[in-house]
Chain A
Amino acid sequence: MPLIFLIVGLVTEHLGANPAEMIIHETGQWALRLLMLTLSITPLVQITGWSILTVRYNLRRLLGLYAFFYASLHLLSYLLLEQNFAWQEIMDDILTHPALDIGWLAFILMIPLAMTSYPQLAHQLSRRRWQQLHQLIYLISISAIIHFGWLAQAKVDVREPLIYAAILLMLLLLRYPPVIRRLAHKNVTFSKE
């Protein structure tokens, strides 16, 4: 959906005075939002007991792949709109600007996760190895937020990246066993009544 809005917006001149910048920012933001949504599925299932979300519909996989899709668009729009595929300058950017490197890191780490989301490839791995690999999402999310905070559009105004950081922190806390145990327990008893 966000992609459709961007395309329609571009055609009808609704992306503001600097549409290229808008495309780069929006695709990046959506990649980050989708990452956060992906991370929220596990605690949601644990708290509500709606295992149907992961077992039947595999919402987590779907959201994760969408996050990868938007991260790809974000990277592509940087390469095309920011650098016009001038590889020399892209290399130069990589060598001199660590804020960009963290973005590259997040993207590269997403590739194996996206690949092993396809059942054929996932079966090559044991369940345990698959899970270990997919724990990279924590590193990816942290990198993505640092990348965003470092390049924050409004130079000294980091409120927006901080909001994402707070959400991520909350999502990580929800994975801390004592926390999830308390929340899940309450809910389980409730649903039994």
Chain B
Amino acid sequence: MLIKPLDDIPSAEITPESIYQERRRFMRNGVNLMIATTVGVTNTTLFSAPVVAKGVDPSSAINLPIDFPHLKPSAFSTGEQSTPFAKITAYANFYEFGTDKSDPQRYAQTLTTRPWSVQVVGEVEKPGVIDMEEILRKFTLEERIYRLRCVEGWSMVIPWVGLPLSELIKRFQPTSKAKYVQFSSLLDPKQMPGQEDRFLNWPYTEGLRIDEAMHPLTILSVGLYGRVLPHENGAPLRLVVPWKYGFKSIKSIVKMRFMEQEPLTSWIEAEPRAYGFYANVNPTVPHPRWSQKKERRIGEFFKRNTLMFNGYAEQVSSLYTDMDLRKYY
């Protein structure tokens, strides 16, 4: 395993984001005023202020209290520059709240994340329900700064707060038949208005092979930048599998089912040719509609080359040694 040296400064303190936010706000106000006075219209979407939670001042988003002050740093964290908090929350795919990248931030605030629990069923010795409070209390939370690569060709670096999924799984004691695990998101069109559009089969489902689920890189995230996970990023509990495309990292999980067969996923149902079960980040296997060789790191203007397994090849390539990754895309 590749162990990189770490600095023990929490990532939230590295980037002086308040300064950056202040400047943005200043520019935004100036431009809005200019347009309002000279043109008299502000109808273009280009100029609407960056979306923020209703009633929340955009500049205060980063001044939220640190909810997890004593995080254990992780040897798996990358030393790369983290994407600013404001961009992580403003640019997300969470189709339960709409297909536009800014929809989640605009609409996800109505989601009720407490009480919350995860139901565990299927091939386990001890099926049951685990409560969110229990997850937060009983597991050691770590900061894991991971690269995230979306199948659409953009990427971020996100300082997650989370726990290894394997530790949670062990509590339920999977049987020898448990070869796969299927995850389901919340199904509630009242809270998740995007579910009224039927282009995906709700609830969103995803799955991992059991060795992928037990891999030390795989975490359940409960926060980012030291704060409770924002609704738009999959509150209160989401999966993070950093060597796979982002859509594998299912958000707002309510159920885990251990299975003998490979589970069907929402994306395979919608477009099997484009979205496979494995979805490993792989620059050599193009998506049917676009190449996967390059990616645009959010905050950068030009594209950079995509790394095999999103840069985690040393840790995970052994999981796939006997597989043709063109076939099992």
| Chain A residues engaging chain B, CB cutoff 8 angstroms | 2, 5-6, 8-9, 12-22, 26, 81-84, 89, 92-93, 96-97, 99-100, 150-151, 153-157
Contacts and interface: CB of A to CB of B under 8 A. Distances in A.
B24 interface: yes
Given A82-B303, A151-B289, A12 B101 contact: no
Contacts of A18: 91, 101, 154, 296, 298
Interface of B: 24, 27-28, 30-31, 44, 46-47, 50, 87, 90-91, 95, 99-102, 152, 154, 197, 199-200, 270-271, 274, 286, 288-291, 293-294, 296, 298-299, 301-303
Contact of A13 (B27, B95, B152): B27
A26 B44 CA distance: 11
A157 B46 contact: no
29 contacts: A2-B44, A5-B47, A12-B28, A12-B30, A14-B28, A16-B102, A17-B90, A17-B101, A17-B298, A17-B299, A18-B91, A18-B296, A20-B296, A21-B154, A21-B296, A26-B46, A92-B291, A96-B291, A97-B288, A97-B290, A99-B289, A150-B289, A151-B289, A153-B152, A155-B152, A155-B274, A156-B200, A156-B271, A157-B95
A156 B101 contact: no
A84 B44 CA distance: 28
Nearest to B27: A12
Contacts of A93: 290-291
Closest A-B pairs by Cβ, 7 of them? A154-B99, A17-B91, A157-B99, A156-B199, A17-B87, A9-B46, A12-B27
Contacts of A96: 286, 291
Contacts of A150: 289
Nearest to B198: A156
Contacts, number: 87
B46 A5 contact: yes
Given A9-B47, A20-B301, A156-B199, A97 B100 contact: no
Contacts of B302: 20, 81, 84
Nearest to B32: A14
Contact of B271 (A9, A14, A99, A155): A155
B17 to A, nearest CB: 14
Contacts of B102: 16
Contacts of B24: 13
Given A18-B296, A151-B290, 20 more contacts: A8-B31, A12-B27, A12-B28, A12-B30, A14-B31, A16-B50, A18-B91, A18-B154, A21-B154, A21-B296, A81-B301, A81-B302, A81-B303, A83-B303, A93-B291, A96-B291, A153-B99, A155-B270, A156-B200, A157-B99
B192 to A, nearest CB: 15
Given A17-B298, A156-B270, A6 B46 contact: yes
